[in-house]
């Protein structure tokens, strides 16, 4: 039995994962900004579930949640940074305060959680950290630049963290889901207040009022939760995991397109070195 602390459990993947973790017989610290939104999950397993109020942008709440989880269960074996939300806007349209709030939640909130659980994991020389990213970090769609930037930042952090923690027996996995049938593109999605007409045919097509995808996404959150549990418990936990057939297809297509562009400009790219005879010893 291990103890999982999962952020952002009120809806979607976080809720599905908390439910699955408990079904597998593990302890689950189930968190949300509004703790009443997860009480139905924890009520089903009062001995192994703990509901806590947690806003990952509030340092006091982060510290209190980790301390209470460790007091109740002794250790935090798995941290899942799932809390986050989407934001759609052309780069020029975005309100600076909205962008700051997005990064505070999607990036710095995850960093705060990681820093809070690592002392215990390092002491035990064991643990797992799962950071929920998005295929958007790779696709970089028009209208989702700021959201994609937060997830790209989280993935860059995850890659370095994995190398730092591997010698200490702690795994780090960045998860890139595709489209899942959650509330991500519904209530949870935010956007710029005032669109600029010049972006109507690019960023504008992804605004909520023009989005017809919500409710028809191919991904099943319950199966995604099972997949995450599988990789965390695997002896060779991956540092990178795609979730959803659409994510796999998009990854392959993007990788091929990037490789093709590298090949076109390969000679120019390689031409910027000093001549070999000028190389420094």
88 lies in a domain?
A: yes
Range of the domain at 246: 3-251
Active site amino acids? 133, 147, 151
The predicted structure's pLDDT at residue 215: 64
What sign for the dihedral angle of Cα 53, 55, 60, 63?
positive
The CA-atom distances, in angstroms, between 202 and each of 94, 99, 139, 242 are 15, 19, 14, 26
52 lies in a domain?
A: yes
Per the structure, the count of domains in the chain is 1
66 lies in a domain?
A: yes
Mean pLDDT throughout 214-242?
91
The predicted structure's pLDDT at residue 72: 97
Q: What is the mean pLDDT of the chain?
A: 93
The predicted structure's pLDDT at residue 187: 65
152 lies in a domain?
A: yes
Residue 142 has which token pair? 């028009």
265 lies in a domain?
A: no
Query: Which among 70, 145, 73, 150 is positioned nearest to 111, based on CA atoms?
Result: 150
CATH number of domain containing 126: 3.40.50.720
Nearest 10 degrees: Cα torsion 184, 240, 8, 98 = -60
DSSP state string for 228-247: HHHHHHSTT--SEEEESHHH
264 lies in a domain?
A: no
**Residue 98 — pLDDT band, cuts 50, 70, 90?**
very high
CB 82 within 8 A of CB 60: no
**Residue 280 — pLDDT band, cuts 50, 70, 90?**
low
Show the DSSP H helices in the chain as ranges: 12-23, 39-42, 59-73, 96-103, 109-124, 136-139, 145-165, 221-233, 245-264, 266-270
256 lies in a domain?
A: no
Between 128 and 213, the more confident residue is 128
Mean pLDDT throughout 45-74?
97
Between 218 and 50, the more confident residue is 50
Residue 248 has which token pair? 């796999």
278 lies in a domain?
A: no
Q: What is the pLDDT of residues 134-170, one digit of tens each?
A: 999 999 999 999 999 999 999 999 999 999 999 999 9
């Amino acid at each position: 039995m291990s103890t999982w602390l999962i952020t952002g459990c009120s809806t979607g993947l976080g809720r599905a994962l908390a439910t699955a973790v408990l079904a597998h017989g593990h302890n689950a610290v189930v968190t949300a900004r509004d703790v009443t939104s997860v009480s139905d999950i924890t009520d089903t397993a009062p001995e192994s579930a703990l509901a806590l109020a947690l806003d990952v942008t509030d340092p006091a709440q982060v510290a209190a949640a980790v301390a209470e989880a460790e007091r109740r269960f002794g250790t935090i074996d798995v941290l899942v940074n799932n809390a986050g939300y989407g934001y759609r806007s052309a780069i020029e349209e975005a309100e600076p305060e909205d962008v700051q709030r997005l990064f505070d939640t999607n990036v710095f909130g995850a960093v705060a959680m990681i820093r809070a659980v690592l002392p215990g994991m390092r002491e035990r020389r064991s643990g797992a950290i799962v950071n929920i990213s998005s295929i958007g970090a790779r696709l970089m769609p028009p209208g989702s630049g700021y959201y994609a930037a937060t997830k790209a930042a989280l993935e860059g952090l995850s890659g370095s963290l994995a190398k730092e923690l591997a010698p200490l027996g702690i795994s780090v996995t960045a998860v890139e889901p595709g489209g899942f049938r959650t509330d991500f593109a519904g209530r949870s999605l935010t956007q710029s207040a005032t669109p600029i007409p010049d972006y109507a045919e690019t960023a504008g097509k992804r605004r909520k009022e023009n989005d017809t995808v919500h409710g028809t996404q191919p991904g099943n959150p319950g199966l995604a939760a099972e997949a995450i549990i599988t990789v965390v418990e695997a002896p060779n936990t991956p540092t990178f995991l795609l979730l959803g057939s659409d994510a796999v297809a998009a990854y392959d297509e993007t990788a091929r397109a990037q490789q093709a562009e590298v090949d076109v400009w390969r000679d120019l790219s390689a031409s910027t070195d000093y001549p070999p005879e000028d190389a420094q010893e």
